[in-house]
Chain A
Amino acid sequence: MALPAPVVSYLQSSFLEETRPFCLLLDANYRVVDSWGDNSWCGLTGIEPGADMRESAPFLVGLPLTETQRFEFIETVGRAIVHAHLVPEGDNCYVVLLDARVAHAAQQTTQHSVNEHRLMHVRQRKFIARQRELISELIETRSELEHHRRDAERSSAEKSRFIASMSHEFRTPLASIINYAELAAAGDTSANDVQKCIETISRSAQHLTSLVEALLDDATLDAGQVELVEHDFDLRKVFDDLAAMMAPLAAEKGLSFVTLVDPDVPKVIHADEVRLRQVLINVLGNAVKFTLEGSVKITATYAVDRLRIKVADTGPGISPEDQERVFRAFERGSTREKAGAGLGLTISLRLVQLMRGEVSLESVQGQGCEVIIVIPAAASAAPIGHDTGMFAALGSDTMAQKPLSVLICDDDADMVALVEHYLHRSGYGLITSSDTTEAIEKTLNYAPDLVLMDCNIPGIGGVAAALQLRERGYAKPIVALTASNLDAEEQGAFTRFFRKPAPMQELLAEIKRLTH
């Protein structure tokens, strides 16, 4: 049933008032045929018969005029907001535009609120995901921190144990040195006893030196400053030297000491002889130290450019749990009564690894122990030109053969007196200085035949002094004699480098070699 006429009339007038319809009649080419209504609100211009409406109403571009179409909420270039209706009529088409600002504003408020809400959800989701990541990272970081804390605690405990151990290790030989020195100085001690005192003092001092050397080696390895020096050498000679060193120690304990080099081992091999000796002395020293009866045997075999050395003993063996620990710094297994820093095997392992080799340990508790060292070592055809053995005899004649002078720069009066004594006895003229500034001036003024320089001394320091002397034209040998641990570059400032305590005979022989 149709609505009453007054209602229809009311609705029509309300609708027309609200939407302010504007109507165009366009031909098939979008040209104006006719128009009706108020166009002032919708920003359309140039509405004249024949005008192409796609210019002023670009939303018409591309739209077919042959179908009834309805577009809601078009914001035109003129920023009017319209509902557009296209109503074809024969070859023409009515385009009816209705003002949609009021409805658009209401819908935009709603739509915007919905979109903001959805965006907030997205941000929340991202925030929660990020929180989860952070929590996960936090857990991981805490776990790492806990791990580091445990490492630090273990390290601290190891260091504390090490300091306690070192304190004991140092005090024993120091006590021996002090007590025997007092005994030697006592007026009523016989010459024979004084000689024994001196021998004991010397032995204790050498033991202290070996402890310090082990500590320095460990620190140097930690700092990554150890560089291999590979050259050709005779392994059999090395084994002879090791036998000369170890056999008497073994004999003292009633042990047999056996060395065996397989015929397949080349006469001359290429490797770092000094470091290999150090490793073998460490391993053999341990074997002799811990073996109470039976034997210590060292054998060498060779295959495919790799040298394999096995040190086997008939000692108490090492329990499986101790086998994991003996290669760690400051660990000595469960046999604590034996002396040592607990660094020997650690250093040996690290040196062998530096040589690109491997160390393995096989032991059954109560049935001895085998340490196997494998390192790359190419066979060399080159003959050995000179004796490079650690225990090779030093030049026996250290006496100066002509009038020569040596400048000693050292701030330790006792050390100056000692070196002065030996050099004077060897026939050298001496100039002394206790700081580098004075030493440089004296060197340039008196031109000694050699400068013997400490490094950690007042003034600019020994290394800088050596470099300055070179810059200022001093061309003769400068020998470092220092307790400092110089790196390779610092050592390069000197002709030769000796670390205190240096064997005096060796130092004198080198001074003679450099000055003659």
Chain B
Amino acid sequence: MTRLTSKVCIVGDFAVGKTSVVERFVSNHFSGKYLSTVGVKIDTKEIEQGAAGVSHKLVIWDVAGSDSFGDREFAYLRGASGYIFVADGTRALTIGAVETIQSQIAEKFGAAPSVLLLNKRDLVAEWEVTDERFEALSASFNGAFKTSAKTGDDVEDAFARLAQLIVENELRGK
């Protein structure tokens, strides 16, 4: 089985649940307490991608929330193989933030595999994103997921999808 290690950056506006999504993916745990991330938090998780015959170690950079990036944030993104953009489905304005960051990254580093997570899908009564908009977002990113770090819904699938895109990208590169 081929071993692959990839740097993945989680980006998005503040308080959209980036750290909670990573915690759910890495430790299958959720803490409802909100604590702002300063700088960047590093975690790793190894997943088996049986279809591709790859043992894939993801080095996850959980970057502090921001609605636009400066030099300090761009430094964190150096060498990233893929991106997870996270927005809060109960705050539609945070989608604008990921769209801004996405275009900044594309301009600075070029296109790279990415997926969009609309998080907090468990908060049904407060959800602000229509199905039509979700479909449009899914087309403009490489895939979009309605996730809940609280329940774990679709979190694993979103990371698996990104890992698959990275492998496909690597294979194309070779």
Give me the interface of A with B, judged by CB distance under 8 Å: 54, 58-59, 61-64, 69-77, 81, 104, 107-108, 111-112, 115-116, 118-119, 122, 126
- Contacts beyond the supplied A61-B6, A69-B78: 17 A-B pairs with Cβ under 8 Å: A58-B59, A61-B79, A63-B78, A72-B39, A73-B39, A74-B40, A75-B39, A75-B41, A81-B39, A104-B39, A108-B35, A108-B36, A112-B36, A115-B15, A115-B34, A115-B36, A126-B126
Q: Contact: B38 with A107, CB < 8 Å?
A: yes
Q: How far is the CA of A14 from the CA of B15 in the complex (A)?
A: 36
Interface residue? B170 (CB, 8 A)? no
25 A/B residue pairs, CB under 8 Å, sorted by A: A58-B44, A58-B59, A59-B59, A61-B5, A61-B6, A62-B59, A62-B78, A62-B79, A63-B78, A64-B78, A64-B79, A71-B40, A72-B72, A75-B39, A75-B41, A111-B36, A111-B64, A112-B36, A115-B14, A115-B15, A115-B34, A118-B14, A119-B14, A119-B15, A122-B93
Q: How far is the CA of A118 from the CA of B13 in the complex (A)?
A: 11
Which of A62, A63, A64 lies at the interface centre, i.e. has the most chain B CB atoms within 10 A of its CB? A62
Q: How far is the CA of A54 from the CA of B44 in the complex (A)?
A: 12
A61 and B38 in contact (CB under 8 A), knowing A72-B72, A115-B15, A122-B91? Answer: no
A72: chain B residues within 8 A (beta carbon): 39, 72
Which of B35, B42, B78, B81 makes the CB contact (< 8 A) with A76? B42
Q: How far is the CA of A63 from the CA of B43 in the complex (A)?
A: 16
What's the nearest-Cβ distance from chain B to residue A506, in Å? 66
Interface residue? B7 (CB, 8 A)? yes
Interface residue? B51 (CB, 8 A)? no
B93: chain A residues within 8 A (beta carbon): 122
Closest 9 CB pairs of A and B: A73-B39, A62-B79, A62-B7, A112-B36, A75-B41, A58-B59, A108-B38, A61-B59, A111-B36
Interface residue? B75 (CB, 8 A)? yes
What's the nearest-Cβ distance from chain A to residue B125, in Å? 11
A59: chain B residues within 8 A (beta carbon): 42, 59, 61
Look across to chain A and name the residue whose beta carbon is closest to the beta carbon of B81: A62
A54: chain B residues within 8 A (beta carbon): 5
Interface residue? B80 (CB, 8 A)? yes
Give the total number of A-B pairs whose CB atoms are below 8 A apart: 72
A77 and B44 in contact (CB under 8 A), knowing A61-B59, A111-B64, A115-B15? Answer: yes
What's the nearest-Cβ distance from chain B to residue A501, in Å? 62
Give me the interface of B with A, judged by CB distance under 8 Å: 5-7, 14-15, 34-36, 38-44, 59, 61, 64-65, 72, 75-76, 78-81, 91, 93, 126
Q: Contact: A69 with B75, CB < 8 Å?
A: yes
What's the nearest-Cβ distance from chain B to residue A93, in Å? 14
Which of B7, B39, B44, B80 makes the CB contact (< 8 A) with A74? B39
Q: Contact: B42 with A58, CB < 8 Å?
A: yes
Q: Contact: B40 with A73, CB < 8 Å?
A: yes
Look across to chain B and name the residue whose beta carbon is closest to the beta carbon of A113: B36
B126: chain A residues within 8 A (beta carbon): 126
Q: Contact: B91 with A74, CB < 8 Å?
A: no
Q: Contact: A77 with B42, CB < 8 Å?
A: yes
Q: Contact: A75 with B40, CB < 8 Å?
A: yes
Which of B14, B80, B126 lies at the interface centre, i.e. has the most chain A CB atoms within 10 A of its CB? B14
Q: How far is the CA of A63 from the CA of B78 in the complex (A)?
A: 6
Q: How far is the CA of A64 from the CA of B109 in the complex (A)?
A: 14
B72: chain A residues within 8 A (beta carbon): 72
Q: How far is the CA of A126 from the CA of B94 in the complex (A)?
A: 14
Q: How far is the CA of A398 from the CA of B50 in the complex (A)?
A: 95
Q: How far is the CA of A112 from the CA of B14 in the complex (A)?
A: 10
Q: How far is the CA of A279 from the CA of B34 in the complex (A)?
A: 75
Look across to chain B and name the residue whose beta carbon is closest to the beta carbon of A57: B42
Q: How far is the CA of A115 from the CA of B17 in the complex (A)?
A: 13
Q: Contact: A77 with B38, CB < 8 Å?
A: no
Q: How far is the CA of A197 from the CA of B132 in the complex (A)?
A: 81
Q: How far is the CA of A106 from the CA of B89 in the complex (A)?
A: 31
Look across to chain A and name the residue whose beta carbon is closest to the beta carbon of B64: A111
B36: chain A residues within 8 A (beta carbon): 108, 111-112, 115
What's the nearest-Cβ distance from chain A to residue B71, in Å? 10
A122: chain B residues within 8 A (beta carbon): 91, 93
A119: chain B residues within 8 A (beta carbon): 14-15
Look across to chain A and name the residue whose beta carbon is closest to the beta carbon of B40: A74
A111: chain B residues within 8 A (beta carbon): 36, 38, 64
A107: chain B residues within 8 A (beta carbon): 38
What's the nearest-Cβ distance from chain B to residue A68, in Å? 11
A75 and B42 in contact (CB under 8 A), knowing A58-B59, A112-B36? Answer: yes
Q: Contact: A70 with B75, CB < 8 Å?
A: yes
